[in-house]
Amino acid sequence: MKNIVYCKSCKREIKVRHSCADRFALAEKLGKEFEVTCLYCKQKQTKNINSVYAVANGKFNFMALLITLILSVSLVYFVLSKVESTVYLYYILGASIVIPWMVYFVYKHEDNAKISKFNRNKY
Ligand SMILES: [Zn+2]
């Protein structure tokens, strides 16, 4: 999750320096009104704490997805090369695929819950 505001003139995202769980915690750090400078059009503007939104951190989520993919493929490779063929092989293989993806989806679910909690509660 990251906190953003939208630029008044070019409408692009401006990342807010602090990332907080809710607008109240963010207001303690930045104040009810704060200044931001757009990275694209360099315009300085004053923003209200209620104009801050939480969105998913795309780069971070992509890295988490990549790590999950690499982890599950490596686990399957490891199981196939080390574990002898037994009746449990399919269970172990299944677990090597399911467990990393379960962790990933729990993380995504928690992140989405944090985002909607932030956006729901106005200051
Ligand atoms: Zn701008």
* pLDDT tens figures, 81-97: 887 777 788 888 999 99
Domain ranges of the chain: 2-55, 58-120
Q: What angle, 0 to 180 degrees and rounded to 10, lies between the N-to-C axes of helices 58-82 and 89-120?
A: 170
What distance in angstroms lies between residue 59's CA and the mean position of ligand 1's atoms?
21
Query: Which two structure tokens, joined as six digits, stand for 98?
Result: 């399911």
Cβ neighbourhood burial of 85 (10 Å; 0-12, 13-18, 19+): exposed
pTM, entire model: 0.82
Ligand 1 being an ion, which residues bring their Cβ within 5 A of it? 7, 10, 38, 40-41
What distance in angstroms lies between residue 14's CA and the mean position of ligand 1's atoms?
8
* pLDDT tens figures, 41-85: 999 999 999 999 999 999 999 999 999 999 999 999 998 888 777
Beta bridge partners of 35: 46
CA distances from 85 to 80, 90, 94 (A): 8, 9, 14
What distance in angstroms lies between residue 40's CA and the mean position of ligand 1's atoms?
5
